[in-house]
Amino acid sequence: MCAVLLCLACKLELETISGTSVDYRYSPGLVPCAGNATYVDQFAVFAAGLLAVDRPAHVSFAWVPAEEFGVGRLRSCEGSLGCASKNEAYSQWPIHLHEVVHALLYSVNEAPLPFLEEGVATALDMSVYLTLDVLRVNSGGKDDGDPRPELTKEAHIDYAKAGLFTLYLIQRYGPEKFMTLYRRSKRAADLSAVRGLFLNVYDIELDEIVEAYLQDNDCPADIIHFPWYECTAPRLSPQDGAWLVERPVDCSEDDARGGIDSDLGVATSVTIEVTEPGGHTIEIVGPDIGMVHLAPCGGCRWLDRQVVVFTGDTETAFLPVGEYLVTARFFEASEADVRVSITPSP
Ligand SMILES: [Zn+2]
């Protein structure tokens, strides 16, 4: 058995770029962008800081092609885009922060409640843009976003519901309490055990916490800051009141992340600071299909709306005062300039 496993493991040959917290690995033949290894490594430090974990565990992340999933040491990953085994994360995407979170938190609890495990991974990964409001609209009003039916599931958890409720718990009651909940939780716990755990950690009944979560549609003023990782991107200064990103989104640029021919394309981020509230027009022009994603860095993450605009389109949104992340993503590495503009509406 061991010999077979060893032999299968040998097949997974990976290039490695060693980092302080994360070793970035990829299959030969795949072409990661120049910024990937640093981006993932710095994410571990950022995530540990947000979650008030003393220091991040040393983990690895590997980008591997789809055909590697489900075979050899990745046989348990079959049918998924990404997976984590102990402190090793694997994905068919060149960057998959969700899986990195699983690997990072393995040292905190090897078998936590799956709802919390998926909740915190979703809360830290930009790839889920949903808010509680959007989740309700998408269900045609049939689902109010109540996390309780998901709490004791061991599989097929609604990631958006778990992520949004996790954001609420962290921003409302703090990361320390959430991590205590995470540390003490157990896979396969029944509902009464989960209720007991919440009462023990928060000193509030689970039902009371959930009712407040479902009913409070306004962001409390005393919320705990829990920004997206992309909010650490460099600040872009406005010119004549407008912001303009005009540059190639080329995989070989140091701040580009993603991969050649990957589903995620090539992305780069900046942050902007809006000092005058009001309508803003967001436009993206590029040689390839792309999208721009604009989201607030402050506020309540489970409530805040985000703006997504595709190449050739224009979108107008009301932006309150505050800091925002702007991520431009193109689905082919482009050496030609792309142009993203954010202009106050007259
Ligand atoms: Zn997961």
CA of 117 to the centre of ligand 1 (A): 7
The position carrying tokens 């190639």 is 248
CA of 155 to the centre of ligand 1 (A): 10
Mention the CATH class of domain 229-344: mainly beta
Domain boundaries, the chain: 2-108, 132-215, 229-344
Bridge partners of 344? 280
pLDDT value, residue 128:
60
pLDDT in tens, 3-15: 334 444 446 789 9
Under the phi-then-psi rule, with left for phi > 0, alpha for psi from -120 to 50, and beta for the rest, what region is 299? left
Helix, strand, coil tally for the chain in percent (to 5): 35, 25, 40
pLDDT in tens, 211-232: 999 998 899 989 999 999 999 9
Q: What is the mean pLDDT of residues 261-266?
A: 87
CA of 98 to the centre of ligand 1 (A): 6
CA of 82 to the centre of ligand 1 (A): 8
CA of 121 to the centre of ligand 1 (A): 6
Q: Determine contact, residues 233/257, Cβ cutoff 8 Å.
A: no
- Residue 298 pLDDT exceeds 60: yes
CA of 308 to the centre of ligand 1 (A): 24
CA of 304 to the centre of ligand 1 (A): 23
Radius of gyration of the chain (CA): 21
pTM: 0.93
Q: How far apart are CA 76 and CA 111, in angstroms?
A: 16
CA of 283 to the centre of ligand 1 (A): 33
CA of 114 to the centre of ligand 1 (A): 9
CA of 274 to the centre of ligand 1 (A): 34
CA dihedral 192, 198, 200, 205 (to 10 degrees): -80
At residue 261 the predicted structure's pLDDT band, cuts being 50, 70 and 90, is confident
CA of 50 to the centre of ligand 1 (A): 19
pLDDT in tens, 161-194: 999 999 999 999 999 999 999 999 999 999 999 9
Mean pLDDT rounded to a whole number for the chain: 91
